[in-house]
Chains A and B, each alone.
Chain A
Amino acid sequence: MDSLDFTAVLRFRDALLQGLLTTLELTLICIVLGCAIGFAVGLARTSTNLPLRNLSSVYVEFFRGTPVLIQLFWIFFCLPLLLGIELSNFASGVIALTLYMGAITSETFRASLKSIGREQFDACVALGLPRWAQITSVVLPQALLRAIPTLLSNCVSLFKESALVSAVGMADLMFIGSNISNNTARPVEVLTVVALIYFVIAFPLTRAVTVIERRILQKLAV
């Protein structure tokens, strides 16, 4: 085979950077929206209201039980037909990944909500806190603290899954990478660099999960 030539990739660094920014933008938007949905759904799944609990279970199980790619295709191809509106590929990417993130973080929040002791709720009742204050000042901070390590690894999963939006033509890092690789006929160099860029971002985050886990576990054990 020909010798490897990584300088070919260097010529496209602006395009790759642009793609990376799109990937990061998409990931950040979906992290924020997805965590909000995830917390609400996590609460709904621990609620005493049966229809609410069932509805949220169906949502979570369905999104956890099907490939993200098919969810994305469904939203990209079918939602516009059903609603009769145009959806940009960025919008459908955001909707699909947000719903996916909502489903996986709701499981994280559910686990951390379960770990909050019964006596905390009793204390809220004793203090006469209204339901809303109970959620925002007692439940949310504790659930969030306990959920941080898992939430962070959910974020890494989302960052990786975001590469799928390239399949519906959104110009993220993956899409730009495969375009360059096809046009230059240098897949080895280009795809390796693309993989390394993903790695350089995801790896420190997974390390951080381990460190934070240890620190929070210590803090909670005291």
Chain B
Amino acid sequence: MNYSFDFQSVTRNLGPLFDGLAVTLQLTVAANAIGLTLGFVLALLLMSPWRLVRLPVILFVEFFRCTPALVQIIWFFYCVPMLFNVFLGSITMGILALGFNLAAFNAEAYRASIQAIPREQLDAGIALGLNPVQRILYIVLPTAIRASIPVLLTNGIVIFQQSALVAIVAVQDLMYQAKSLATQTYRPIETFSVAALIYFAVSFPVTQLVDYLERRRLAVAG
């Protein structure tokens, strides 16, 4: 190996990389806001007793879970403007595509923890005279959210990583900035390594937190 490293070419250009990180974080936070709320609604609809309600939701969830995120993002960017005649900013489009993807995965996480709520809790809610909306708000929602926190966090961080895909449709996120910096400076090794480290520095603490929560849950359960 006779490559001479020059990390200064990156450190001189940290500005664009951090601008990119800001866009990446914006995408992640907004997609999580959609994923956490829409995901819960989808989970409730998934368990609806009416087939007519259940079927389209199942289709939505399975479609997002069973196709590559890249296909979804490209589909979104090309087809939504053509099909529905709406023209949104590229960051908004990215947020929607990532948000729907996350909502599908979170819906499954919520569903698993809702189904794990013991029947007696709901019976107790009925016995206390709570109406269905109150039962969802005060019994199902808090229990389900607490039980699914580790999975929701994991999904949230996966979306942080998947958000790099929007670089392919020219949203100027961290990945995009890294790619153009690597091309401009002819320093792909240094640039991509630094960009990878930035991604890692954000996701690693979250995965450690998830591991800690899992361990604590197991300790409490055992």
Q: Which A residues contact B (CB, under 8 angstroms)?
A: 1, 61-62, 64-71, 73-74, 77-78, 81-84, 156, 160-164, 166-167, 174, 177-178, 181, 187-188, 191-192, 194-195, 198-199, 202-203, 206
Q: CB-nearest residue of chain B relative to A4?
A: B83
Contact A199 B66 (CB under 8 A): yes
Chain A's nearest CB lies how many Å from the CB of B210? 11
Q: Which chain A residues lie closer than 8 Å to B135 at the CB level?
A: none
Q: How many residues of B contact A (CB 8 A)?
A: 42
- Asked if A68 meets B161 with Cβ closer than 8 Å, knowing A62-B200, A174-B70, the reply is yes
Contact A187 B78 (CB under 8 A): yes
Contact A73 B192 (CB under 8 A): yes
Contact A77 B182 (CB under 8 A): yes
Measured in the bound complex, the distance between the Cα atoms of B190 and A9 in whole Å is 42
> What is the number of contacts between chain A and chain B, taking CB atoms within 8 Å?
126
Contact B165 A69 (CB under 8 A): yes
Contact A195 B67 (CB under 8 A): yes
Q: Which chain B residues lie closer than 8 Å to A167 at the CB level?
A: 70, 168
Chain B's nearest CB lies how many Å from the CB of A11? 19
Contact A77 B192 (CB under 8 A): yes
| Chain A CB within 8 A of B50 CB | no
Q: Which chain B residues lie closer than 8 Å to A202 at the CB level?
A: 65-67
Contact B164 A77 (CB under 8 A): no
Contact B66 A198 (CB under 8 A): yes
| 23 A-B contacts (beta carbon < 8 Å) | A1-B85, A61-B207, A65-B203, A69-B165, A69-B167, A69-B168, A69-B175, A70-B175, A73-B179, A81-B188, A81-B189, A84-B1, A160-B67, A164-B165, A174-B71, A188-B79, A188-B83, A191-B71, A191-B74, A194-B71, A195-B72, A199-B67, A203-B62
Contact of A78 among B74, B168, B188 (CB under 8 A): B188
Measured in the bound complex, the distance between the Cα atoms of B65 and A88 in whole Å is 31
Chain B's nearest CB lies how many Å from the CB of A32? 21
Contact B162 A188 (CB under 8 A): no
Q: Mark B185-222, 1 if CB is under 8 A from A, else 0.
A: 00011001101100110011001000000000000000
Q: Is the interface of B mostly helix, strand, loop or mixed?
A: helix
Q: Mark B99-125, 1 if CB is under 8 A from A, else 0.
A: 000000000000000000000000000
Q: Which chain B residues lie closer than 8 Å to A166 at the CB level?
A: 70
Contact A65 B207 (CB under 8 A): yes
Contact B79 A192 (CB under 8 A): yes
| Chain A CB within 8 A of B2 CB | yes
| Chain A CB within 8 A of B43 CB | no
Measured in the bound complex, the distance between the Cα atoms of B186 and A77 in whole Å is 10
| Chain A CB within 8 A of B60 CB | no
Q: Which chain A residues lie closer than 8 Å to B175 at the CB level?
A: 67, 69-70
Q: CB-nearest residue of chain A relative to B24?
A: A67
| Chain A CB within 8 A of B68 CB | yes
- Asked if A187 meets B192 with Cβ closer than 8 Å, knowing A174-B71, A199-B63, the reply is no
Query: Could you say which of A61, A65, A81 has the most chain B C-beta atoms within 10 Å of its C-beta?
Result: A65
Contact A203 B68 (CB under 8 A): no
Contact of B1 among A83, A162, A164 (CB under 8 A): A83
Measured in the bound complex, the distance between the Cα atoms of B78 and A220 in whole Å is 48
Contact of B203 among A66, A68, A77, A188 (CB under 8 A): A66
Q: Which chain A residues lie closer than 8 Å to B200 at the CB level?
A: 61-62, 65-66
Measured in the bound complex, the distance between the Cα atoms of B189 and A194 in whole Å is 33
Chain A's nearest CB lies how many Å from the CB of B78? 4
Query: Could you say which of A61, A160, A194 has the most chain B C-beta atoms within 10 Å of its C-beta?
Result: A160
Contact of A69 among B2, B3, B164 (CB under 8 A): B164
Q: Which chain A residues lie closer than 8 Å to B203 at the CB level?
A: 64-66
Measured in the bound complex, the distance between the Cα atoms of B79 and A74 in whole Å is 30
Measured in the bound complex, the distance between the Cα atoms of B152 and A104 in whole Å is 18
Measured in the bound complex, the distance between the Cα atoms of B183 and A73 in whole Å is 12
